[in-house]
Structure 1
Amino acid sequence: MIDYWKETAAAVTVCDKNGVVVYCNNRSAEQFAKYGDLLGKNLKDCHNSSSWEKICNLMEPGDSNIYTVEKRGVKKLIHQMPWRKDGEVKGLIEISFELPADMPHFVRE
């Protein structure tokens, strides 16, 4: 299967139900390089207790969490969502990407 996410500008990180990273694309690896190779690592080791609690709370009911954040003048959209197999939540996918400062907004009907 082709890894469509491997070389995209969005950082894509996937963990299993226990928080163990099972996939990260090139941008995710660059973004989180200070933690070393994420594959096989638990997200609990990379987050404070409050963030880890939010991650766990997302997986139980299978909710999504979408927000923007700004770090060092760069605004990003973060979308954390469950991934499922046969209807059962098996973990989370996080996709984050930079938002242009002058991004247009359209309302369509």
Structure 2
Amino acid sequence: MTNIDWVKEFQGSAVVCDKNGIIIYMNDTACKTFAKYGGSELVGASLFDCHTERSRQILRTMMDERKVNSYTIEKDGVKKLIYQAPWYQDGEYMGFVELGLEIPAGLPHYVRG
């Protein structure tokens, strides 16, 4: 098996954009998560059109500096970890990936070392 699309039905949300901020991929969970904004119809749209000015500034900084951005949110009683990171192909910067992962209530935390 050389062409596995493991992320398509992954339980976390995965959105991929190109280096100009155009959405080029959304997995099934992302399409459901963003259904009220268009779901799969968002592929081809600009991230800059989907966010507030504050968020657009953060996006610009992330894209210019190619930095990871992560934070947690709570919406409709569901907590999520949002992890945004640059992606590369053959060493060339290609854009950003955003993963949205639900954080279960009572998630254990371990300090190891």
TM-score, normalising length from structure 1? Answer: 0.93
Tell me the distance in 2 between the aligned counterparts of 1:20 and 1:93: 11
How far the C-alpha of 1:54 sits from its partner, in A, is 0.7
Aligned with residue 108 of structure 2, among 90, 101, 104: 104
Check the 8 A contact 1:83/1:89 in 2, yes or no.
yes
TM-score, normalising length from structure 2? Answer: 0.90
Q: Unaligned regions of 5+ residues in structure 1, if any?
A: none
Identity %: 47
Aligned with residue 88 of structure 2, among 80, 84, 91: 84
Aligned with residue 8 of structure 1, among 7, 10, 15: 10
Query: Once superposed, which parts of structure 1, at least 4 consecutive aligned residues long, lie more than 4 Å away?
Result: none
Q: What is aligned with 1:20?
A: 22
State the superposition RMSD in angstroms: 1.1
Tell me the distance in 1 between the aligned counterparts of 2:60 and 2:91: 18
Q: Unaligned regions of 5+ residues in structure 2, if any?
A: none
Size of the aligned set, in residue pairs, is 109
How far the C-alpha of 1:100 sits from its partner, in A, is 0.7
SS in 2 for 1:2: coil
Check the 8 A contact 1:59/1:89 in 2, yes or no.
no
- Corresponding position: 1:30 with 2:32: yes
